[in-house]
Amino acid sequence: MINSALLYVVGEVFCMAILLTLVAALKPITNFGKREKWLAASLISETLYFAGDAADNLQLGGLVPAPKLGLLFTGSYKVLMLNCVSIAVFFYIDQCGEFSLADNKKKRFAVMAAAIISSILELFFAIFQPDWLLTPDLRPTFLYNVFLLAIPLFYSLATIALAINGVRQSTSKNVRRFYLMTGCWPILLVVFGALDVLVKKIPFYAYVATAYLLALAVYQFTTMVDNVSLASLSSLKGREKLKAAFDSIQKRRQEADYFLVLVDMNGLQSINDIYGRATGDQVLWIVSEAVEKMAGHGEGYSCHYGGDEFLAMVKSSDESQVQELISHLQDEVVDAAKKANLPVVPQLVAAAVRADMAEGQLTDQLRIAEEKVYNQKQDLDTNLQTGNFFIDKVTGLPNANYFHSFAQSYLDQCLADGLKPAVVMINVTGMQGYNNRFGYAKGDQLLKKLAEALKKAFCEDVLVRFAEDNFLLAEAQEDLGQRLNDLAKIFSIQEGVSIRAGICAYDGKDALMSTVDKAKRALRYIKNDRSIVSQVYNQEVQESYARQDYVLESFQEALDKGWIKPYFQLEGRSLTGQVCAAEALARWEDPKYGVLSPDFFVGILEDAHLVQNLDLYIIRQVCQMLADRIKQGQPVIPISVNLSRIDFQICDIFAEIEKIRRSYDLSSSLLKIEILESTVASDPQIINQTIAKFHEQGYEVWMDDFGSGYSNLNNLDEYNFDLLKIDMIFLKGFKDRPQVKTLLAIVVDMAKKLGMHTLCEGVETEEESAFLREIGCERQQGYLFSKPIPMADFLARIDQEKANGNLENPASNPYYNRISQVNVLADPMHSASRSGRAAGIKLPIAIIEKQKGDLLHYAYMNRSYEAFLQSLGYQVEEWDQTVNNLNYFKSVLLVMMDQCREQAGYVKRVEALSGQKFKMEMSYLTTDVPTSNEAYVFTFEEK
C-alpha cells in the first residue's frame, strides 16, 4: 500500500512540475487579456489541487501521520480547489466564445453560485458533521465523493454546452477543432476522476487533467504569439486568413454587405523611442484587440496588416454604421490604455472602403484605403505641428484628444471632493439642414457662438467639441438641467435651432468612455421630441435600448415562428348598431415578454427600416383569413390595415399589397388602407401618387389618428382620403368638458362638407356612442364594441354576430356609405344652412327606409325630430310601428318618395297635420342591392 501511495504521489508531483512550468512560461508575458488570465488561474488551481491530493494520499498511505482533523482539512481543501479548477476552465472556454459571461459581475456570480454553495456545504459538514464525510476507519464516504465530483461534472456539462455553441459560431476550422477538443475532454476528466476515486493506485485524473491543460496552453500560446508578436502579426498567415474570407464573400456575391477598414496607429516609433519597446508592444496589443472587437461587432474578420497597421473586414452595408464603429474604436483604445495605466494614449487613423469598390479587387481597395489614411495623417501631422493636437480649430475649444487625456482625472477629483459629476453629450439638432440653408461658414459661426455660450455656462468644467455638431461636457454643477434649458431657449429664439443633451452620472465604477456611450444613448432617446431638452440615462433608457436590441434580434424569428399575429378590433355602424368592419392590429405573442402591443416594437422596426416586412406579413395573414372564409362560405367583413411612412420609402407598397390581394383573389373592397396623418408629411408627392393608385383599383384609403398630433387641415384638402378616423383624444373628458362635443361636431361637419366619411376611435360608453350617432359620425370603434382580440376569437364573434342578425353585409357598404354622406349638422337639402339657422339644432331631420311592402323604417332621427314627436304625445321608441298605422301621414311620405324617384333633387310639399301647416322636404338617397330597401332624407318645419 505504501508503494502504491508513493507512486501515486510521484505521478502528481510530476504533473505539478509540468503545470508550474506552464505558469512560469506565462509569467513574463504581460500583454494578455482575460482568457489568458483564466488559463493561468486554471493552471495554478489545478497545481494546488494536486498538492492537496498528494498530501491526502500521503496520509491515507501511512507515509505521514493521518489525524482525523488533517484528513478533514485536506478533504475540504481538495473540494475547494477542484471547484476552483472547474470555474476557471469554464470561464476560460467562455472567454474564447463570441460573448462572455465573465465580463458581467452578476452573471459571473450566478455561474459561480453552484460551486460556492457546494464548498460551503462541504465545509459545514466537515466542521459540524465530520462523520458524514469520513468513515470510522478514516476513509472518504459516498457523500464526500459526491461533493468532490458533482461540481466538476456540472461545470463539465456547461463547458460542453459552451463548446457546442463555439462550434456553431466560428467560421475557422482551427477554432472549431479547439472547441471540439474542449467539448470532449471534460467528460474524460469526470470519467477518469471517478476511476481515480475507485482505484486509488494510479493518478488517472492528474495525467488526463495535465494533458488537457497542456493542450489548452499550447493553443493559447499559439494564439498569443499570433496576436502579440509583431513579426507574426505582419506575416502572411493573418493576411491569408482574411483573404480567404474575402474570397468566400466574393463567391457568395456578398461584397456589398461588407466594408474593408484599414487602421493605422500613428506614432508607434515615437512611443517605442520615448517610452520603450515594452510599452510599444502593449499599445500594439491594445489596438489589435480593439480592431478585433470592432470586426466582431460586424460579424467580420481582422488581421495584422503590417508594422503599425491593421485590417478589418466589417459586415455592414451602411457606411454611417461603419463610421460609428470606427469612432468607437478610438474610444475602446483610450479606455483600454487607461485601464492598463499606460503613459500614452495611441492615436488612430482609419479609412473604410466598400468591398464591392474597384470591381472587387482587394489590392485596389487597399490602395484606396491607404490613400485615405495617408491624407488623414497629413492633416493630423499639420495639427500637431501647429500645436493644435488638443484644440478644435473651428470653435477654439479643446477637442476629443483633450477629453480622452484629462476628463477622467477631473471627474475622479470631483468624486473625491464629494460632488456628483456627470458626463453630458450636447447636440445641435438639425445642423445639416442649417448648413444647407445658410452655408457652412454660417454653420461654423453658429458652432462658435454655442461654444462661447457653453464656456460661459460651464466655465469650471471640462468642455470639448467632440465631433461635428456634438459637444462633450464633464461637469459637477447642481443646476445642470436649468443651465441647459436656459441655453436651449436662447438658441431656439435667436438662431432657430434646437439644443439637446444626454446626461449620464459618473460614479467611477464604469470606464469613462462607457459613461460617454450612455450619455449618447440618452441623447438619442430624446429623438425629435421638441418638448425635451435633456434626458438622463436611467432605467427607462436602459430598458428601451434592451428592448430595441431584443426586437431587432428576434423579429425575423417572430415572423418565422408565427409569434406575430393579427388581432382584430370591431367597428360598429352608428346608424344600425351592426358590426360593419374591423381593424387588423399587430400583436407579438412573445415567449419571453408575453403579448406585446405595437407600441413595444413598431417604432423600433420603423427606425430599422424593417416595418414593411411586418405590415406586409399582417396583410398577408388578413387576406389568407378572408380567402379561407369565403371559400368555406362563411361570413366576412372588410378589414382595415395600417401602413407606415417607411412602407412608402422602402418599397412600392401599392404593388406589394396588390400582389398579395390578387394571389388570394379578393375584392379590393374587403381591404381598407389606413395611413397615419403624420405619414403624409414624410413624402407628399409619393403619398399622393400611391393613394391615387389604390383608388384606381377600388381600395378605400383612410386617414388614421386625425388630431393625435400637430394636425394640418390642409392635409384634408390636398390628399384624397375616403374616411377620417378621429383620434380617441377627442373623447378625453367627454363627460366633464362641453367643448369636447363641440369639437367633435365641428370635425364631423367639416369632414362631411369635404365629402369624407367618419369614424371615431376610443368609444367606451353608451353616452359617447349615442352622441356620435346624433351628430352623424358614421362608424365607431372602441372597447364598447370590443378590445383587440386574436383571430380565433374574432372569427367566433363574427359568426355569433351573424347568427344574431347583427353583422352588416359587405354588399350593403355602398348603401350605408351613401346614407352617411348626409350631413345632419346642416340642412341636408341645401349646401348651407338657411336663415342663419344653427346647424343640426332646430331643423328636424330623419332618414327613412322604404322596405318591402311599403313598410317604413326610421333609420335616423335627430333630437329636434324626436322632440317634435314627443310634443305630440308619441313614443319615439314606437314611432316605426306608429307611422305605419298613420294612414294619411304614411301616404304623404310614400307619395313624396315616388316623386323623388321621378325627378332629380328634392321635392317639397305643404301639409296640414294636427291643425298646423308644415313645409316638408324629401330627397332620394340610394337603394340597397341585397334588400332592395330605399333610403330618403326627410325634413320639415312649421309654415
Give residue-wise pLDDT tens across range 894-908. Answer: 999 999 988 888 899
Same domain, 417 and 484: yes
**DSSP state string for 447-504:** HHHHHHHHHHHTTTSEEEEEETTEEEEEE--TTHHHHHHHHHHHHHHHT--EEEEEEE
Same domain, 488 and 412: yes
C-alpha to C-alpha distance for 923 and 387, rounded to whole angstroms: 88
User: 139 Cβ partners below 8 Å, 6+ apart?
Assistant: 60
Pairing, β 639-643 against β 671-676: parallel
Residue 139 located in a structural domain: yes
Give SS3 for 419: coil
User: 150 Cβ partners below 8 Å, 6+ apart?
Assistant: 118
Same domain, 377 and 448: no
H or E, element range at 394:
none
pLDDT at residue 492, as a whole number: 81
* pTM of the model as a whole: 0.54
Confidence of residue 267 (pLDDT cuts 50, 70, 90): low
Residue 806 located in a structural domain: no
Confidence of residue 237 (pLDDT cuts 50, 70, 90): very low
When mean pLDDT is compared across 91-105, 244-258, 680-694, 813-827, the lowest value belongs to 91-105
**Full strand arrangement of the beta sheet holding 934-942:** 855-861, 845-851, 934-942, 916-927, 906-913
Residue 103 located in a structural domain: yes
Distances (CA, A) of 559 to 144, 609, 886: 51, 16, 62
When mean pLDDT is compared across 25-34, 85-94, 369-378, 799-808, the lowest value belongs to 25-34
User: 803 Cβ partners below 8 Å, 6+ apart?
Assistant: none
- CB-based contact 592:580 (threshold 8 Å): no
User: 393 Cβ partners below 8 Å, 6+ apart?
Assistant: 383
CATH number at residue 96: 1.20.1070.10
Q: Which of 511, 537, 563 is the last residue of a domain?
A: 537
CATH number at residue 407: 3.30.70.270
- Whether residue 411 has pLDDT greater than 80: yes
Confidence of residue 400 (pLDDT cuts 50, 70, 90): confident
Same domain, 793 and 849: no
pLDDT at residue 637, as a whole number: 95
Same domain, 239 and 220: no
Confidence of residue 241 (pLDDT cuts 50, 70, 90): low
| Exposure of 531 in the CB half-sphere (CA atoms within 13 A) | 0
Average pLDDT score, the chain: 81
pLDDT at residue 257, as a whole number: 78
pLDDT at residue 658, as a whole number: 95
- Whether residue 731 has pLDDT greater than 70: yes
Pick the residue with more confidence: 193 or 21? 21
User: 556 Cβ partners below 8 Å, 6+ apart?
Assistant: none
pLDDT at residue 410, as a whole number: 87
C-alpha to C-alpha distance for 232 and 241, rounded to whole angstroms: 13
Question: Where are the alpha helices (H) located in 298-430, listed in sequence order?
Answer: 319-339, 362-385, 400-416
Distances (CA, A) of 587 to 509, 572, 584, 796, 798: 39, 22, 10, 19, 20
Pairing, β 422-429 against β 498-505: antiparallel
> The domain containing residue 372 runs over which residues?
232-385
C-alpha to C-alpha distance for 323 and 402, rounded to whole angstroms: 21
Cell numbers 377600388 label which residue?
698
- Out of 245-249, 279-283, 776-780, the most confident range is 776-780
Same domain, 236 and 165: no
C-alpha to C-alpha distance for 781 and 725, rounded to whole angstroms: 9
Confidence of residue 231 (pLDDT cuts 50, 70, 90): very low
When mean pLDDT is compared across 243-247, 400-404, 490-494, the lowest value belongs to 243-247
Q: Which of 354, 385, 416 is the last residue of a domain?
A: 385
Same domain, 640 and 767: yes
Q: How many domains does the chain have?
A: 5
- CB-based contact 329:350 (threshold 8 Å): yes
pLDDT at residue 659, as a whole number: 95
- Out of 135-149, 180-194, 706-720, the most confident range is 135-149
The arithmetic mean of pLDDT across residues 398-420, rounded, is 85
Distances (CA, A) of 267 to 62, 210, 270, 309, 597: 65, 43, 5, 11, 54
Same domain, 456 and 496: yes
Same domain, 210 and 273: no
pLDDT at residue 386, as a whole number: 44
Confidence of residue 614 (pLDDT cuts 50, 70, 90): very high
The arithmetic mean of pLDDT across residues 867-874, rounded, is 89
The arithmetic mean of pLDDT across residues 299-321, rounded, is 75
pLDDT at residue 92, as a whole number: 78
Residue 497 located in a structural domain: yes
Q: First-to-last CA distance in the chain?
A: 129
pLDDT at residue 230, as a whole number: 36
- Out of 102-106, 710-714, 930-934, the most confident range is 930-934
pLDDT at residue 214, as a whole number: 82
Look up residue 223 and give its three cell numbers.
494564439
- Whether residue 937 has pLDDT greater than 80: yes
CATH number at residue 902: 3.30.450.20
Residue 902 has a CB neighbour count (10 Å cut-off) of 9
C-alpha to C-alpha distance for 885 and 675, rounded to whole angstroms: 48
Same domain, 371 and 222: no
Look up residue 363 and give its three cell numbers.
489590392
pLDDT at residue 548, as a whole number: 81
Three-point CA angle 646, 427, 518, nearest 5°: 85
Residue 814 located in a structural domain: no
pLDDT at residue 361, as a whole number: 67
CATH number at residue 784: 3.20.20.450
H or E, element range at 850:
strand 845-851
Residue 781 located in a structural domain: yes
The arithmetic mean of pLDDT across residues 621-635, rounded, is 96
Residue 327 located in a structural domain: yes
pLDDT at residue 849, as a whole number: 95
What confidence tens digit (pLDDT) does each residue in 492-545 have? 878 878 889 999 999 988 888 889 989 998 988 887 677 788 899 999 888 888
Same domain, 586 and 630: yes
The arithmetic mean of pLDDT across residues 631-660, rounded, is 93
Instruction: Give CA 304 to chain center in angstroms.
Output: 35
When mean pLDDT is compared across 374-388, 603-617, 817-831, the lowest value belongs to 374-388
- Whether residue 253 has pLDDT greater than 90: no
Three-point CA angle 512, 514, 519, nearest 5°: 95
Residue 680 located in a structural domain: yes
Q: Which of 537, 569, 594 is the last residue of a domain?
A: 537
Pick the residue with more confidence: 76 or 800? 800
Same domain, 200 and 237: no
- Whether residue 192 has pLDDT greater than 60: yes
- Whether residue 145 has pLDDT greater than 70: yes
Three-point CA angle 644, 647, 652, nearest 5°: 150
